[in-house]
Amino acid sequence: MRSVLDSLTPHNLAVAAALYGGFVLFLFVASMVVPGQRLEGVPLADGTRKQYRLNGLWLYLLTVAVLAAAQYFKWFSLSIVVKYYWPLLAVANVFAFTLTAILYFQGRRAGVELRGNPIVDAFYGTELNPTWLGVDLKMFAYRPSLIGLGVINWAFAAAQYEALGALTTRMWFYQIVYFLYLTNYFQFEYGMIYTWDIIAENFGWMLVWGDYVLVPFFYSIPAWYLLGYTESLETWKLVALGALWLCGFILFRGTNEQKHQYKANPQVKIWGKPAEALGGKLLVSGFWGIGRKLNYTGELMVYTAWTLTTGFQSIVPYILPIWLAVLFTHRAWRDEQRCSAKYGDLWQAYRARAKFRMIPFLY
Ligand code: NDP
């Protein structure tokens, strides 16, 4: 704890602020100027639809290219992120709290309906879709969040390479599967438009802090544990982890894609047959006929697989999959409350058809 506090010197905080501010600014400007497919969001309360520019994949690849070039030509080393980890975390928190306050006052000035308690309003947010210079802030936040997560992961790899002269098998495995996961996320960025956060949640501290602090700094903890962990990993364990990751990935991506494809075209074929939906609304084909939240199950498997690369030296990296399991259980419950209110008897019929939430025959 003392070394953490000692690292928060004015000099280190200034370097961290320059790194963090530069990174967010780079992504924000790039979000404005880099071309991308334009897509309409779901209808809003007033019947209009918001336009989104989906250039996240280009931003992600641009960041990868710039950092890879910087590393290769020795302009700077990404391990600087590891060196300034605590100051960066402090700066990210200051940023998230400041942004929350600005958004709160912006909503108040716009005259939106408030809950009345400023802390609750700041926590849940005052506006559904705050927008600056044409950039939707809620959709944008996924970029510093997930690209930031990638950058911190890669920084731990760079630091290991500098310390050991090579990457361990565990680190290779972790980096490859995480890279595939993040690339795939941006490849299917359009799917975010139909998620609950984008459709229904205001942009307040809960999402701001989650995107700018929690995801990049907390989700990368396994990489930190891999940094100095040189014990080799037997081939059979590597194969087993790869299989767990791949099955989870197919489940998570397959489930989400089936729903997106059905919503875009109700006549779509799923597993070779025309999609079947209760009341023409609730999909019961494919994974959605087996469980109501198998996308959560698949994502949990993916996170568990890469956390297992850290072995059993510490419980700390496992806090992430455990926390996700709690988050998903709570989220599934909240979402089902919402669906039950929205679909009424149809939702009960769906529950009778797809009996399980996340684990067939168990839960
Ligand atoms: P879902 O993608 O499951 O979306 C839920 C919504 O889908 C419901 O509110 C309902 O909305 C619709 N729906 C539910 N069942 C059906 C059905 N049978 N047929 C048609 N529509 C249905 O949940 P999330 O938005 O929470 O999650 C999206 C992805 O994001 C998941 O893969 C999840 O794992 C991931 N995620 C990851 C997190 C992380 O930290 N890594 C955190 C949170 C989510 P309606 O009918 O109104 O459209």
pLDDT (tens digit per residue) in 123-157: 999 999 999 999 999 999 999 999 999 999 999 99
124 Cβ partners below 8 Å, 6+ apart?
115, 201, 202, 204, 205, 206
Predicted confidence (pLDDT) per residue in 36-74, tens digit: 999 888 888 888 888 999 999 999 999 999 999 999 998
Residue 116 is predicted with a pLDDT of 84
Which of 207, 232, 257 is a domain's end point? 232
CA separation for the pair 253, 287 (Å, rounded):
11
How many domains are there within the chain? Answer: 2
Interval 7-17 mean pLDDT:
95
CA separation for the pair 294, 302 (Å, rounded):
12
Residue 360 has pLDDT above 80, yes or no: no
Q: Does 267 share its domain with 225?
A: no
Q: Does 204 share its domain with 252?
A: no
Residue 286 has pLDDT above 80, yes or no: yes
Q: Is residue 288 within 6 Å of ligand 1 at its C-beta?
A: yes
Q: Does 123 share its domain with 261?
A: no
> Mean pLDDT for the chain?
93
Phi, psi dihedrals of residue 136, rounded to the nearest 5° = -70, 115
Q: Does 173 share its domain with 102?
A: yes
Q: Is residue 335 within 6 Å of ligand 1 at its C-beta?
A: yes
Nearest ligand 1 atom to the CA of 192 is 28
Q: Does 144 share its domain with 288?
A: no
Ligand 1: distance of its center to the CA of 329 in Å?
12
Which of 232, 260, 282 is a domain's end point? 232
Q: Does 103 share its domain with 29?
A: yes
Predicted confidence (pLDDT) per residue in 204-223, tens digit: 999 999 999 999 999 999 99
Which of 232, 253, 278 is a domain's end point? 232
Structure tokens at 259: 């729903």
Q: Does 194 share its domain with 244?
A: no
Q: What residue numbers bound the domain in which 244 lies?
A: 233-363
Give ∠ CA 286-290-296 in degrees, rounded to 5: 90
CA quadruple 307, 309, 315, 317: dihedral sign: negative
Residue 114 has pLDDT above 90, yes or no: no
Q: Does 206 share its domain with 306?
A: no
Residue 243 has pLDDT above 90, yes or no: yes
Q: Is residue 353 within 6 Å of ligand 1 at its C-beta?
A: no
CA separation for the pair 322, 246 (Å, rounded):
20
Q: Does 12 share its domain with 102?
A: yes
Q: Does 310 share its domain with 344?
A: yes
Q: Does 30 share its domain with 45?
A: yes
Q: Does 19 share its domain with 40?
A: yes
Q: Is residue 211 within 6 Å of ligand 1 at its C-beta?
A: no
Of the given ranges (9-18, 44-53, 79-88, 311-320), which has the lowest mean pLDDT? 44-53
CA separation for the pair 240, 248 (Å, rounded):
12
Q: Is residue 196 within 6 Å of ligand 1 at its C-beta?
A: yes
Ligand 1: distance of its center to the CA of 194 in Å?
8
